[in-house]
């Protein structure tokens, strides 16, 4: 098994496209991650793949201060070095270097962060449709949707334009989120810029939008 960076996968494609974009924009460009520049985002990705103990604070509040401290130190490294570390992928010993596991873990991660950089400000456009990308994102989202919407006070149903549906969260009252897998993924991860339609009672829609989404 090889790291996603060496394969024609969603994770590899999004990883390289994100690196190319950040190289062009430089370390001080804004992102959709509140308070983060591209340098901060790059440091997050490096820590996530190369410092597993520190990265645990992304999900575990007791370790959040350690994560923040390591990420700040990582952000001080030269910009070209940060980009190279991301582009080259995780260390050889990391579980993320295993092809299938790396793809599942990294595919959505790098797609979402790629859009975090692409969709800042005015003038951005949706990328052209890509059945491979859409299929890969839908496959992962179908498994993770329950976690992404675990804080929703109402039920959530995800619906693709072809009518395919996935119940993300059951509830007596539900909101249906409609859009292609790319936009559904961004909505599930809490991005306000996701281009989706929300069907349901407007009060329920607002409650969903106000709730925490993602990890």
At which residue do the structure tokens 């119940």 appear?
Answer: 167
Helix H segments across the chain? Answer: 10-25, 38-50, 52-55, 64-75, 79-88, 99-118, 131-148, 181-188, 202-210
Per residue in 20-34, pLDDT (tens digit) is 999 999 999 999 998
Per residue in 145-201, pLDDT (tens digit) is 999 999 999 999 999 999 999 999 999 999 999 999 999 999 999 999 999 999 999
pLDDT of residue 180: 98
Q: What is the overall mean pLDDT for the chain?
A: 89
Per residue in 131-148, pLDDT (tens digit) is 999 999 999 999 999 999
């Amino acid at each position: 098994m090889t790291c996603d960076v060496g394969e024609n996968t969603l994770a590899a494609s999004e990883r390289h496209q994100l690196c190319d974009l950040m190289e062009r924009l430089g370390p001080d460009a804004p992102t959709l991650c509140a308070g983060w520049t591209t340098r901060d985002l790059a440091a997050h990705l490096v820590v996530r793949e190369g410092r597993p103990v520190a990265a645990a604070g992304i999900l575990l509040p007791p370790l959040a201060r350690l994560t923040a401290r390591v990420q700040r130190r990582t952000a001080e490294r030269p910009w070209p070095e940060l980009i190279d570390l991301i582009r080259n992928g995780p260390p050889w010993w990391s579980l993320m270097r295993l092809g299938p596991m790396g793809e599942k873990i990294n595919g959505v991660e790098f797609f979402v962060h790629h859009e975090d950089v692409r969709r800042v400000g005015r003038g951005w456009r949706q990328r052209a449709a890509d059945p491979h990308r859409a299929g890969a994102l839908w496959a992962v989202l179908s498994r993770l949707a329950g976690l992404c919407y675990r804080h929703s006070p109402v039920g959530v149903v995800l619906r693709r334009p072809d009518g395919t549906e996935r119940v993300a969260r059951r509830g007596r009252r539900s909101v249906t989120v409609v859009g292609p897998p790319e936009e559904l993924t961004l909505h599930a991860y809490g991005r306000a810029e996701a281009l989706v339609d929300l069907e349901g009672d407007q009060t329920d829609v607002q409650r969903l939008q106000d709730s925490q989404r993602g990890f």
